[in-house]
Amino acid sequence: MRFSKRMERLKEGVFLKLDEEKEKYIQEGHTVYDFTIGSPNIAPSKEVQEALIQAAMDPKSYMYALHDSKELKATVKDWYQKRYHVELDEQREILALQGSQEGLAHIALAVCDEGDVVLIPAPSYPIFANGPRIAGAEVYEMPMLEEYDYQIQLQDIPEDIARRAKMMIVSYPNNPTGAIATDAFFEELVAFAKHYDILVLHDMAYSELVFDGGKAKSFLAYPGAKEVGIEFNSFSKNYGMAGARIGLCVGNKEAVRCLRKLKSNIDYGMFLPIQKAAVAALTQDQSILEETRNTYQRRRNRMIEGFKEAGWTIQAPKGTMFIWAKIPKGYDSEGFAIALLKKTGILVTPGNAFGRYGEGYVRIALVQSDEVIEAAIASLKKSAMFV
């Protein structure tokens, strides 16, 4: 058999090796405290669950959903206006995604031709690079460095690269660094995109997970942003609906139209009960978001405090459900992750899983209960790994 050359552009991730090491460790009779995958352990509200169940009992729900429901689009329009102060045309500027990762995998196919350049943050979530590579586009990494609080330095992008670029992806609050962006950055981003005629895709999967009293803004709230960009939003982390697979693409009507056209040739739309659940999530008492945010902030604070007591000092993230931790000298990120597992049972994601600019760090997902976090802290202290 012969397979497509595009598959040669993709690599096996480090997660396979980590999973193998995890299984070995468990088979040896040890306990693993798994902080790798960002799959939330906070379930959606009862209201959301009941909306899903009720809709699933309707036989009509099992027909093809050829379009996003009018109810969903109207609800998203209202939510974006109330939460982000952004006005959207519900017919032309809103498109549901089967998870934002699906949209990230397809957007480059809708926008780019072979050889086009896509600018991505670095380190970054793997699909930011893999989506363009599947489309045959070239990827240029925009470094996100700790010395600049992980803000992309747009002025450092070479002129020839900027002129060739067709699309750029940015994401704040940021996975994996936990950074948030300033107003000045977004204003500069709009001007940059206009000057070089680049479509901006802002991935805002962690829009409600900003800590210490902060609040994320929509990219589309900045003057001129809708002329140059779209925004992906997600129900996965904010509302605990990761397995339901629902996200949103909103913003520039031409970009939304193009992605909608591509998707119409790929699938038949989202299961109607999931759309009903999404409506329930956006119309329920939004204090549920504060509860979720406070839970992640409490976990963040306890892990930062407990790991410091064990000798590992880590900078606290400003948002998301992840801690981006610098590792000790003498290790690469993958080697450290394996050593940490073997000495403590704590499993984290090596920074190199997010590209070369992630080397020297590991990502810790705040997806375990308070009891598991306390057990992990105790194990780290007992190991004396940082003494």
CA 32 – CA 272 distance, rounded (Å): 38
Give the residue from 299, 317, 307 showing the smallest Cα distance to 367. Answer: 299
Sign of dihedral through CA atoms 308, 214, 220, 195?
negative
Q: Is the pLDDT of residue 387 over 90?
A: no
Instruction: Render pLDDT for 267-290 as a digit per residue (tens, 0 to 9).
Output: 888 999 999 999 999 999 999 999
- Location of structure tokens 């190991």: 383
pLDDT at residue number 21? 83
- Please name the residues in contact with 16: beta carbons below 8 A apart, sequence gap of 6 or more: none
pLDDT at residue number 17? 75
Structure tokens given for 63: 């027909």
Q: Is the pLDDT of residue 193 over 90?
A: yes
- Averaged pLDDT score across all residues of the chain: 95
Instruction: Render pLDDT for 201-256 as a digit per residue (tens, 0 to 9).
Output: 999 999 999 999 999 999 999 999 999 999 999 999 999 999 999 999 999 999 99
Ramachandran bin of 150, using left for φ above 0, alpha for ψ from -120 to 50, beta for the remaining angles: left
Give the residue from 317, 316, 311 showing the smallest Cα distance to 385. Answer: 311
Kindly indicate the confidence band of residue 10, based on its pLDDT and cuts at 50, 70 and 90.
confident
Q: Is the pLDDT of residue 14 over 70?
A: no
Domains of the chain in sequence order: 5-43+287-383 (3.90.1150.10), 46-283 (3.40.640.10)
pLDDT at residue number 168? 98
Strand pairing category for 117-122 and 94-97 = unpaired
Other CB atoms within 10 Å distance of the CB of residue 176? 28
Strand pairing category for 117-122 and 165-170 = parallel
